[in-house]
Amino acid sequence: MLESKKILKNLRSKLEFEDGKVFYTCKTQCARFLFETASDLLFICPVCGEDLEYQENEPVIKALKKRIKKIEDLTSEVSA
């Protein structure tokens, strides 16, 4: 129980972080950068030198929401 609460908390804070933000990454996805950081880097990856491109994070948000829901369902079953 305690473990799933911890996971839920982590997932929720991750979701909060992802939500409404714009990320940039290079072709090889060395790292992800927020728009502000990417513009400071002149949209060039500091690791490999490739161009940084806009990365849609909607799939990440969807996956996070799905996982949160799944854990919530599981934990409510256990406590019921």
Residues contributing to the site for Zn ion (CB under 5 A): 26, 30, 45, 47-48
SS3 78: helix
> Least distance (Å) from Zn ion to the CB of residue 11?
27
> Least distance (Å) from Zn ion to the CB of residue 36?
18
**Encoding tokens for residue 25?**
């990454």
Residue 51 vs 73, nearer CB to Zn ion? 51
Helices (H), 1-80: 2-18, 35-40, 58-79
> Least distance (Å) from Zn ion to the CB of residue 38?
12
